[in-house]
Amino acid sequence: MADGPRSGELRDGGPQDGELRDGEFPDGELADGDGSYGRPYDLAGIGIGPFNLSLAALADGVPGLRTVFFDRRPHFSWHPGLLIEGATLQVPFLADLVSLADPSNRWSFLSFLRAQERLFPFYFAERFHIERAEYDAYCRWVSEGLAAGGQADGGAAPDGGGLHFGHQVDAVRWNPELELFELDFTQLDPFTGEAVALGRRCARNVSLGIGTAPYVPEPLRPLADTPTVPVIHSADYLDHRERLLAAGHITVIGSGQSGAEVFLDLLRRRPFGREGLHWLTRSGAFAPMEYSKLGLEHFTPDYTRYFHALPERVRDALVARQGQLHKAIDHGTLAAIHDELYHRTCQGGWPDAVLTPGVSVRTAGRIGRTQVELHLEHAEQDERTRLRTDAVVLATGYRERAHDGLLAALDPYVRRDAARRPCVDERYRMVLDPGVTGAVYVQNAERHTHGVGAPDLGLAAHRSAVILNSLTGTEAYALPRRTAFTTFGLRVERPGGQGAAGGPAEAGRDADGAHGADGRRDTGAAPGAAPASGRGANGQPDGAGVRESGGRTVPLIREP
């Protein structure tokens, strides 16, 4: 893969002498370094992770739709620090960027295998869950193709569209006179990361897909950047693995999938009898993830619709109780850990590995220049102790990246819930002031409104299709009316004799399988017309609030 933009490189405001200065953008047009101007885009994406890459891949199949996507990194890279040898996705290969919305799409995983002449070997391998490294390679194949304008021969992207790595979006504004979003960006040198040019793009709609950031617990934050003692987040594990293996004693904190995979990898690489490993978690057990077939129906559009219709307080309570759906450990990984531990007992004695649930880290500090001391507390025992260790791996999860700075200019337009989070309607649009005719779509920043499936790869293609159907006002992608055998919630009667249910889509739902925030279909463009600007949803209250204040009976909640 190329290290930076090539034939599709943007040249906004980029002087030939390398001096940084802003270009001029008259009448909302797009000023390029060569003095030419282009039209505003229908959609501009910020961030190119799997979710916006899915949106870009499906948008590639919509005739006449002009899109552009930006990412500050020099190329696509998906969790490089956790591409541990043999580690697999927790979702089947069908949960690629496009297949669950368009199985025949040119950017499917099977198309990737065919392009590499690996389709028959994959067929005989009989693998339903592919390795993470292979998924990363697949996404890089898609990103390279789209960055070249979707041309297999590497042709230039039309009108400067496509995917642009090495471009950091600094601010997003709404221009009420032009009825367009303005995106200011800095073009970065692909090798040094230094700014080389400034630019601007204008778009009718924006998709925010900036992803999540590693979370470091407060007691350990002062130690995370210590150069002498390795205290690293699991997101950077592979970058530091050799340094960790050189330590006499290693402590892994956290019992999600990442923590389990890191512990297993370290265990396999440590000598018999001298493992020197502690694995600690605040959770009450090293618990398996819910993976029953009916349990997995929580990751369907049916459940997403049901969840979105619930009151805010109920949604928040549900998310807090559903950790086993997305925070626990794959059964196979737990079995592999037990097998490795058991195998080591065959050598005589027990391995030097301690696995302790129910433990939280109260405080932590350095001991000299070579050790860390963790102050631990066991809630059930009401006991405290100290643990000295030579290295710490924090498998403590991720948090949504803050977008307040990026969207600071939009803050006056954003409608928020009781917890000051942006309200998001059923079609993944931030609920904005009625004066904003464009839409800001969010990807993996809507767990509070759409449930545990927000970060799940299996719902990526469906969400992208919903966004494209909403954006174009047409049925760009036909979506299923029903996706689960489970009926979530009860059918109840609303005033006037109309029924409401939290299960399968009912008659009268839009082509994208969702009502607008006010329960009516948005005014959409006719097939083949220009994409809709997002009118009709913005300015409405949050979908759940409409339902609650409008007198609808809340569906009955039944936890699995």
Distance CA 119, CA 103 (A): 15
Distance CA 91, CA 70 (A): 27
CB atoms inside a 10 Å sphere around CB 264: 22
Q: What percent of the chain has pLDDT over 70?
A: 79
3-class DSSP string for 356-405: ECCEEEEEEEEECCCEEEEEEEECCCCEEEEEEECEEEECCCEEECCCCC
30 Cβ partners below 8 Å, 6+ apart?
12, 37, 38, 39, 40, 160, 200, 201, 202
Q: Span 197-224, mean pLDDT? A: 92
Distance CA 513, CA 468 (A): 12
Distance CA 93, CA 45 (A): 25
Cβ-contact 277, 248 below 8 angstroms: no
Does position 247 have pLDDT exceeding 80, yes or no? yes
Cβ-contact 237, 67 below 8 angstroms: no
Distance CA 240, CA 336 (A): 23
Q: Span 538-543, mean pLDDT? A: 37
* pLDDT at residue number 496: 61
* pLDDT at residue number 74: 95
Position 68: which residue type?
V
Beta strands in 240-352 (DSSP E): 250-253, 277-280
pLDDT averaged over every residue in the chain: 83
Distance CA 372, CA 427 (A): 47
Distance CA 33, CA 11 (A): 5
Strand partners, 201: 183
* pLDDT at residue number 436: 97
Q: What pLDDT band is residue 491 in, cutting at 50, 70 and 90?
A: confident
Q: Span 541-555, mean pLDDT? A: 35
Q: Span 491-495, mean pLDDT? A: 70
Tell me the per-residue pLDDT of 254-305, one tens digit each, with 9 for 90 and over: 999 999 999 999 999 999 999 999 999 999 999 999 999 999 999 999 999 9
Angular region, 465: left φ>0, alpha ψ -120 to 50, beta rest: alpha
Cα-flanking dihedrals φ and ψ of residue 163, to 5°?
A: -105, 135
Distance CA 151, CA 192 (A): 28
Distance CA 548, CA 554 (A): 7
Longest dimension (CA), the chain: 78
Q: What is the pTM of this model?
A: 0.82
Tell me the per-residue pLDDT of 389-423, one tens digit each, with 9 for 90 and over: 999 999 999 998 888 889 999 999 999 999 999 99
Distance CA 51, CA 211 (A): 9
Tell me the per-residue pLDDT of 318-359, one tens digit each, with 9 for 90 and over: 999 998 898 899 999 999 999 999 999 998 899 999 999 999
Cβ-contact 452, 296 below 8 angstroms: no
Cα-flanking dihedrals φ and ψ of residue 85, to 5°?
A: -55, 125
Does position 448 have pLDDT exceeding 80, yes or no? yes
Pairing of β 250-253 and β 391-394 = parallel
C-alpha 77: how far from chain center: 13
Which one, of 389, 357, 343, lies nearest residue 255 by Cα? Answer: 357
DSSP character at residue 512: T
Does position 512 have pLDDT exceeding 90, yes or no? no
3-class DSSP string for 136-204: HHHHHHHHHHHHCCCCCCCCCCHHHCEEEECEEEEEEEEECCCCEEEEEEEEECCCCCCEEEEEEEEEC
Cβ-contact 516, 536 below 8 angstroms: yes
Tell me the per-residue pLDDT of 97-149, one tens digit each, with 9 for 90 and over: 999 999 999 999 999 999 999 999 999 999 999 999 999 999 999 999 998 76
Domains detected in the chain: 1-211+401-482+522-546 (3.50.50.60), 213-289+327-398 (3.50.50.60)
Q: Which two tokens stand for residue 116?
A: 């590499």
Distance CA 104, CA 112 (A): 12
Q: What angle do CA 293, 259, 237 make, to 5 degrees?
A: 125
Distance CA 458, CA 394 (A): 26
Cα-flanking dihedrals φ and ψ of residue 302, to 5°?
A: -60, -45
Does position 553 have pLDDT exceeding 60, yes or no? no
H-type alpha helices, 78-127: 109-115, 119-125
Distance CA 150, CA 78 (A): 20
Does position 173 have pLDDT exceeding 50, yes or no? yes
Distance CA 272, CA 332 (A): 23
Cβ-contact 327, 256 below 8 angstroms: yes
* pLDDT at residue number 119: 98
* pLDDT at residue number 494: 64
Does position 506 have pLDDT exceeding 90, yes or no? no
* pLDDT at residue number 447: 96
* pLDDT at residue number 381: 94
